[in-house]
Amino acid sequence: MEGRVSSVQSLGAVDGPGLRYVVFLQGCPLRCKYCHNPETWEKDGGEMRTAEDLCNTILRYRPYFGTQGGATVSGGEPLMQPEFVAELFRLLHENGVHTALDTAGAGDLAKAEDVLLHTDLVLCDVKFPTESGYRENCGGSLAHTLDFLRLTARLQVPVWVRHVVAPGLTDTPASMRAVCDLCAGFPNIEKIEWLPFKNICAEKYKVLGIPFPMDGKPAYSQKHIDLLLQAL
């Protein structure tokens, strides 16, 4: 089983519990205005890797991530390559490695179920709290993401929701409160991670010759997010 890998991060600290070996897969159907990884959009990019080879590479880092960490597959959108992720996670589980799926839930939900059977934790990116926000700012569907979250609930997979707080898009207490309300209906959601918008990705857009929709917008600090949360 082969998949297209955009890049890897051997020891990530912000993509699930503990230290993680993070795999960024190629291909994404969304075009979020604040996307940090535009190099992953095209499905034909990246490097072909087999699930077995990638698993063996990850296992070499087990002395570093140990039992408190594990492996995270991100993107792009990993559910664009569900068969590959399911096989990789199956192999990792055979070797006792904790698996995390960082996804917007933007793939084929029938195939997503096979992935979730070998997933210990889902990091679900909830982009906007409204259907119109999804359509206008990332070309996706809130309803589809909610269907994915219902699937995780049925399979009893723990979820951490991730939400980017972006200037002019999702940076009001009302918008953040709406995200909280969406999450309240899912018993398997353990927490919400509020991610401050960063503009360090602007150079990637220049290299790729792609306009950056958030060009000129200020980066947010964690302190700014904390002030917003106090107003909820």
pLDDT single digits (tens) 108-134: 899 999 999 999 999 999 999 999 999
Instruction: Report the distance separating Cα 103 and Cα 132, nearest Å.
Output: 20
Q: What is the mean pLDDT of residues 211-231?
A: 94
pLDDT tens digit string along 175-185? 999 999 999 99
Q: What is the pLDDT of residue 107?
A: 87
The pLDDT, as a whole number, for residue 93 is 98
Which pLDDT score is estimated for 149? 98
**Stretch 205-215: mean pLDDT:** 95
* The pLDDT of residue 155 is above 90: yes
pLDDT at 147 over 90: yes
pLDDT at position 209, please? 96
Residue 23: which residues within 8 A CB-CB, separation 6 or more? 5, 8, 54, 58, 71, 72, 73, 74, 88
Q: What is the spatial distance between Cα 84 and Cα 2, in angstroms, rounded to a whole number?
A: 6
Q: Does the structure show a pLDDT above 90 at 232?
A: no
Structure-token match 């140990």, residue found: 66
Six-digit token pair at 145? Answer: 């993401």
pLDDT for 32 beyond 90? yes
pLDDT of amino acid 78 = 97
Residue 210, pLDDT > 90, answer yes
2-230 has which CATH code?
3.20.20.70
> Per-residue pLDDT averaged across 88-95, rounded?
98
Under the banding of pLDDT at 50, 70 and 90, the label for residue 86 is very high
CA distances from 199 to 182, 191, 219 (A): 27, 25, 6
**Please, what is the average pLDDT of the chain?**
96
Give mean pLDDT, residues 164-189: 96
- Whether the per-residue pLDDT at 106 is higher than 90: the answer is yes
Residue 87: name the closest of 111, 122, 62, 123 by CA: 111
Per domain, the residue ranges of the chain are 2-230
pLDDT class of 9 with cuts at 50, 70, 90: very high
